Amino acid sequence: MENYMKLEIPAKSCNEAFARAAVAAFSVQLDLSVEELADIKTAVSEAVTNSIVHGYPDMKGTVKITCRIIENILEIEVTDCGIGIENIGQAMQPLFTTGSENERSGMGFTVMQTFMDELAVESEPGVGTTVKMKKRIRG
């Protein structure tokens, strides 16, 4: 089975839940377990929130979400055209954040790595960031 979807939303925090629900609705065709669905929703939530909060800290923009199903693998890409990440390695360290200390835990990439089978981050300062995640569905 092969299928895909594309979604583009304004980078507003009120759209995070919609993006998470849209990806969840698309992914259920894979006959997911409740745990797999929860993992996917959590990882998407973190990726979209990162784009909104860190990609566009003081500006408007869009977040693009692409999902593909190939056999039993769900591939998800979350892309923004925001400020980008200067040091991806540092950004992926647990507890590192560019947000205020009161606001964020700095665990977004760690959460994504925990709940997905693969995680890759591509970014260029001033151009934007793409987070690529894969989840193999055991079903």
DSSP string for residues in 75-112:
EEEEEE-SS--S-HHHHTSTT--SS-TTT--S-HHHHH
Position 86 scores a pLDDT of 83
If residue 120 lies in a helix (H) or strand (E), which one and from where to where?
strand 118-124
Active site residues: 46, 50, 104
Task: Give the strand pairing for 62-70 and 2-10.
Answer: antiparallel
Q: Both ends of the chain: CA-CA distance in Å?
A: 14
**CA–CA separation, 119 vs 137, rounded Å?**
15
How many Cα atoms sit within 13 Å of 78 on the Cβ side? 30
pLDDT at 99: 59
List the domains of the chain with CATH numbers.
2-136 (3.30.565.10)
pLDDT digit of tens for each residue in the chain (139 aa)?
699 999 999 999 999 999 999 999 999 999 999 999 999 999 999 999 999 999 999 889 999 999 999 999 999 999 999 999 987 777 777 666 665 554 556 667 888 999 999 999 999 999 999 999 999 998 6
* 61 close to 13: Cβ distance less than 8 angstroms: no
Label the pairing between strands 62-70 and 73-80: antiparallel
Return the pLDDT at 11: 97
The C-alpha atoms of residue 126 and residue 55 are separated, in whole angstroms, by 10
Question: How many CB atoms are located within 10 Å of the residue 4 CB?
Answer: 11
